Amino acid sequence: MFNRAVSRLSRKRPPSDIHDSDGSSSSSHQTPKSTAKWASSLENLLEDPEGVKRFREFLKKEFSEENVLFWLACEDFKKTQDKKQMQEKAKEIYLTFLSSKASSQVNVEGQSRLNEKILEEPHPLMFQKLQDQIFNLMKYDSYSRFLKSDLFLKHKRTEEEDEESPDAQTAAKRASRIYNT
């Protein structure tokens, strides 16, 4: 009888070793709520597709969605390897966001604007200075207002309500279920 109890105890694992049925560690489910992550930094917000979506919604209402669209286009541009594709994307970014006739012109310092000739020989970081300006504009202006906006606060409340619902399963409940089997 003592041997069976020891055998059963040895099968039980510490919480750090608990894995869900898909093999992933259950601690991976304990990530901070998305709104908490978004509130920690603009960088975290821009890394989360849902965060970008919500931030775009907010910027659209403020008539400044072009800032995040430009930032995203620059991020995509930096990943481009093919020279021809890079030229096409550079021209598209220029025509959409930077030229004096741009449909979604971003607000960057005059001397920072690019000359069209540079588009002929693009390189991955050619928009970096402008992208940094727009990032700082968003970080110190739009982002702080976003965190105080009804859109963000409503999403945060919804997350908190979902977390408090009886269906929400905590790691402790999962651990308890695993230990009691």
- CB atoms < 10 A from the CB of 66, how many? 20
- Calculate the average pLDDT of the chain: 79
Q: Give me the percent of the chain exceeding a pLDDT of 70.
A: 71
pLDDT at 161: 86
Higher pLDDT, 84 or 181: 84
Task: Summarize pLDDT for 40-59 with one digit per residue, the tens.
Answer: 999 999 999 999 999 999 99
Higher pLDDT, 168 or 76: 76
pTM as predicted: 0.71
Task: Summarize pLDDT for 59-96 with one digit per residue, the tens.
Answer: 999 999 999 999 999 999 999 999 999 999 999 999 99
Element (H, E) at 71: helix 65-78
Integer Cα distance of 122 and 90 in angstroms: 7
pLDDT at 174: 53
Asked if 30 and 172 touch (Cβ cutoff 8 Å), the reply is no
Q: Which of 44, 77, 50 is nearest to 143 (CA)?
A: 44
For the chain, which domains are there?
A: 40-157 (1.10.167.10)
Integer Cα distance of 85 and 30 in angstroms: 40
Q: Is the pLDDT of residue 178 over 50?
A: yes
pLDDT at 32: 65
**Please, is 167 exposed, middle or buried when counting C-beta atoms within 10 Å of its C-beta (0-12, 13-18, 19+)?**
exposed
Any idea which residue has 């430009």 for tokens?
Answer: 70
Q: Is the pLDDT of residue 119 over 50?
A: yes
Q: Where are the beta strands (DSSP E) in the chain?
A: none
Q: Is the pLDDT of residue 22 over 50?
A: no
Integer Cα distance of 63 and 56 in angstroms: 10
Q: Is the pLDDT of residue 164 over 50?
A: yes
Asked if 140 and 156 touch (Cβ cutoff 8 Å), the reply is no
pLDDT at 169: 53
**DSSP character at residue 11:** H
Band of pLDDT at residue 149, cut at 50, 70 and 90: very high
